[in-house]
Amino acid sequence: MNWIRKNIPNLFTVLNLSLGVLGIHQILTGNPSVEPTIHYYIFAAAFFDLFDGLLARKLNVASEFGVQLDSLADLITFGVLPAFIYSRYVGLEGWGLLLLMVPICSAIRLAIFNTDSSQKTSFKGISTTAHGMFAGVLPIILYNQSSWFGELFSGNEIAIIILALFFSFLMVSPIKMMSFKFENFSLKSNWERMLLILASLVLIIIWQYDAAPYIIITYIILSLTSYFKGIPANSEG
């Protein structure tokens, strides 16, 4: 019974990993003319990624094994899968080989986080999960082409590569980015997080999936505000 309890969080991590593999399979075998559904895989994986850590702490079964398994799963789902999503529009040849920076920087970011003791209460750069969720929404935005972002990036291989490189840089940058692990619910300590949540809800109601670029921009601006004000961000989430 203790063995089952100990591995409940690991089950969530394995589900995250499995969804990442299934997402890669869909990208490789899917029909580009059909409305993409890859975001469902990534959103579900992000849910499991959030709750594996929460469960480990709640059940008091957190372990180094779980930490390493979680990073390996995140690398597949939020590092390798996004590279395949970008490659759907560019291809992995010529300049498209630059898309390899996405999984490379994802791996570097996860390795640094796991070995950098200074990031136990804060993290540097955008999380692989946050980038993965944005990449997951990208196909539906480009498919609908109902926003300036969709029109700008649809059929524009150079723009897609620049976008991928931009997020690759953010993942390994020293800039502190917000997480959503609240140490307390004080408005003074968490105004950026609460503002981002509120703004995200409003933007999603107005623009649905097309809200993703605006949410990312808001997230980066609020994180930079905290960074330059010297306000520490919380641990990775």
What is the spatial distance between Cα 191 and Cα 222, in angstroms, rounded to a whole number?
A: 10
Instruction: Return the CATH number at 56.
Output: 1.20.120
Residue 31 belongs to some domain of the structure: yes
Residue 187 belongs to some domain of the structure: no
Tokens of 154: 């649809």
Nearest alpha carbon to residue 167 among 215, 126, 197: 126
What is the spatial distance between Cα 159 and Cα 168, in angstroms, rounded to a whole number?
A: 14
What is the spatial distance between Cα 81 and Cα 17, in angstroms, rounded to a whole number?
A: 11
Residue-level pLDDT at 140: 94
Report the chain's C-alpha Rg in angstroms: 18
What is the spatial distance between Cα 158 and Cα 225, in angstroms, rounded to a whole number?
A: 30
Q: How does pLDDT run along the chain (237 residues), one tens digit per residue?
A: 677 888 889 999 999 999 999 999 999 998 887 889 999 999 999 999 988 888 888 888 888 899 899 999 999 999 999 999 999 999 899 999 999 999 999 999 999 888 876 655 456 889 999 999 999 999 999 999 888 899 999 999 999 999 999 999 999 998 888 776 655 566 666 777 788 889 999 999 999 999 999 999 998 888 887 766 654 444 444
Residue 199 belongs to some domain of the structure: no
- State the DSSP code for 234: -
Residue 108 belongs to some domain of the structure: yes
Q: Residue 193 half-sphere exposure, CB side, CA atoms within 13 Å?
A: 19
What is the spatial distance between Cα 41 and Cα 18, in angstroms, rounded to a whole number?
A: 9
Q: Residue 117 half-sphere exposure, CB side, CA atoms within 13 Å?
A: 0
Counting the structural domains of the chain, the total is 1
The parent domain of residue 74 ranges over: 2-175
Residue 231 belongs to some domain of the structure: no
Give the SS3 label for residue 176: strand
Residue 137 belongs to some domain of the structure: yes
Residue 86 belongs to some domain of the structure: yes
Residue 18 belongs to some domain of the structure: yes
